[in-house]
A and B are shown apart, each in its own frame.
Chain A
Amino acid sequence: MKNFSPDIYKDPTLVARLKQRIAELAQEFKEPVKIMHICGTHEHEMGRYGLRDLLPDNVEVLAGPGCPVCVCDTEYIDQAIQLALSPEVILTSFGDMLAVPGSIPLKGERKGDVRMSLLDAKARGGDVRAVYSVFDAAKLAQANPKKQVVFFSAGFETTVVAVAALLKRGAPDNFFIIEANYFTPPATHLLPELEGFDVNGFLLPGHASAITGIRIYEHLPDYGIACASAGFDPVDVLAGIASVLRQLVENKPGLENTYGRVIQYDGNRKALAELDEVFARSSKRWRGIADIPESGFQLKGKYRRYSTEERFAEVLADPPERSVNEHPKGCRCAEITLGLARPDDCPVFDKLCTPDNPYGPCMVSHEGTCRAWYIYGMGKERIHVEV
């Protein structure tokens, strides 16, 4: 029997010390300091542990493009829906993707510019199943040799590594993937070039950097942005923030690894080599943001036979009617994803758009900023308690 805080990375005494340290460092700044993280899990943990409560008023932590579900291009979602509705297909997906609206209009069901999600496809008879990993999807293919099993391979570096490992070892002949895997560093590189982007520091992703390492971020400090890779427990997150602030106070923006127990400077070479064998980097559309060169993973060489684009080329050549706007009308996910707006800036947040009836993608995934803000009650003020 244990209570919360099973290890030192959740230790309240350490957290209190870091809080103190951050407060001291923050006193050195006349202007507000903005730190952006680029990992949905960071936002989720910020909410779960109420970490914004522990920061001084002049230190703001913003959520960046760290939610794979939110940036997944509508084309892949629509493709998944289309395939799910083919009788020969069992469509498997992480649970997080199921309720994400794509761009196929869904008329007359709910209010607003409503789009179809995989759940809607399921309700229309599609065989859609949530799986926990790509390996479960492959097992399903083995158990259903007469069906075509499609795995909606959404996610960042972290999840695509498992896909590479599986395909390299060989997957069943009736197993295919939708190549919706994104590579985060090119998007991060794009941020400082954006108009209106004024961020003083980055918390680099924890999971993704365990694969890629952080050398690839070496040029970010050239923009005057202080960087620290950070883990996810409260001590990790606060240590990352303290590192960024210290670098800024010393006026030496650099690249620090505060998550050394998981991240190596050059990443996980074995995983990277496997990744490179199976996937090539390609340009990908980040939903509502931009086409970003080199930011996606595409099957290469002999592995292309696992691509839905190869196997289902005929079906996919005849797509259903799609809306031209990537996000539903009025949804501000794109700005929120870039840290240019906050969920409570969106007029339909907590009104038309809630987790049980999501209007935009950022309200669907646990990594989504809108959802995290909704379920953990994050906002401009600390929650007021009166006993």
Chain B
Amino acid sequence: MSRYERIRMSHGSGGKLTLELIEDLFAATFASAPLKELCDAAVLDNPGGRLAFATDSHSIKPLFFPGGDIGRLAVAGTVNDLSVMGAKPVYLSSAFILEEGFPIAELTKIVRSMKATADEAGIEIVTGDTKVVEKGKGDGIFINTTGLGFIPDGLKIGPQHVRPGDVLLVSGSIGDHGIAVMSQREGFEITLELKSDVAPLNGLIETVLAAAPNIRFMRDVTRGGLAAVANEMVMRKPFGVRIFDAKVPLHHDVVEYSEMLGIDPLLSANEGKVVLAAPPNEVEAALAAMHSHPLGQQAAIVGDVVKKPEGRAIVETAYGSRRMLEMPIEEQLPRIC
């Protein structure tokens, strides 16, 4: 592999170069037993019980951003999708679509970052795939990850379990990833103290569920931010959700930068925060559990589930006034004024 500095079409041909790439980079770095066998499918142990299964494709610009990179994002994203269903993520697949000419040094960095994130989450990357597309036909690199997790018995998590009176919590500051990445985009390139919060949340979530097993709803905050999660929770349901905006933890860079660009921080993305709805008698336990975990230091109560307005998310401001919280429509773009 070190014979080349950049990805060539033959790296995706299924021939010698593909094998080299898999053996020397992917299998060597991910170091899982099934992957080392180089078989067509990973054969896995099954501890029994219900399975959770999730897939997600990742593309991001820039590939490396403050606080993370596309590799960390690809692993954490799928781990988090499984975790918020109450599952313990165990196995991950990883499929790469590489653009011809993509520097192998960058690929190596990304693959190492995936391995480090997988280790952090305590999961294994057990199977994968590589395709190469012609120069100009891809954005450098796309990564798809698919994950398997096992769901312990007894958990009832989902919007259908939510009830008016439940309390909404977040595990930390909102909007970090979106603003950190936007600050690096073409035309901005400003330096902030802020970093993306991209992180696998399974450890934090396991801690919370141990302390508060009757959590009714969980969702990791991704694109669309807290606004999207709040709306998804109540959409077409006979209840609504109210968020107290003054209680939402925000990094000062997020406050200032979003103000400058006319962006609502509640619509800005995270990649390492979870929102959950807890029944009133488990709120304290859930909050304390989050505070006890390194990723939940700034966890806070941010709202509650209300009978009316039905199906809507609203914001109650520090002034006692109210507004709707929109389901985000498009990517947040700076405005004319």
Contacts and interface: CB of A to CB of B under 8 A. Distances in A.
Contact of B336 (A19, A159, A375): A159
Nearest to B322: A383
A225 B76 CA distance: 58
B337 A385 contact: no
A69 interface: yes
Given A4-B246, A94-B336, A96-B335, A376 B306 contact: no
B39 interface: no
A12 B318 contact: yes
Contacts of B139: none
A52 B186 CA distance: 38
Interface string A237-264: 0000000000000000000000000000
B245 A2 contact: no
Interface in A43-78: 44, 47-54, 68-69
A44 B315 CA distance: 15
A185 to B, nearest CB: 16
Contacts of B309: 383-385
A27 interface: no
Interface in A79-117: 94-97
B195 to A, nearest CB: 14
B192 interface: no
Nearest to A136: B187
Interface stretch (B93-101, B124-132, B250-258, B282-290): B250-258
Query: In the complex, which range does the number of interface residues on chain A fall in?
Result: 35 or more
A307 to B, nearest CB: 20
A356 to B, nearest CB: 5
B326 A375 contact: yes
Contact of B321 (A41, A53, A136): A53
B328 to A, nearest CB: 9
B312 to A, nearest CB: 8
B4 to A, nearest CB: 29
B264 interface: yes
Q: In this complex, which of B242, B326, B330, B337 has the most chain A Cβ atoms within 10 angstroms of its Cβ?
A: B337
A368 to B, nearest CB: 11
Nearest to B312: A377
B302 to A, nearest CB: 10
B236 interface: no
Contact of B337 (A16, A19, A207, A377): A207
A96 B324 contact: no
A97 B337 CA distance: 12
A54 B187 contact: no
A140 to B, nearest CB: 9
Contacts of B251: 1-2
A95 B256 contact: no
A130 B185 CA distance: 13
Given A53-B321, A54-B319, 5 more contacts: A49-B317, A51-B319, A155-B336, A375-B324, A385-B314
12 contacts: A1-B251, A1-B298, A4-B317, A5-B318, A54-B320, A96-B336, A156-B337, A355-B329, A377-B314, A387-B164, A387-B306, A387-B307
Interface of A: 1-6, 10, 12, 15-16, 19, 39-41, 44, 47-54, 68-69, 94-97, 130-133, 136, 139, 154-156, 158-159, 207, 234, 355-356, 365-367, 374-378, 382-387
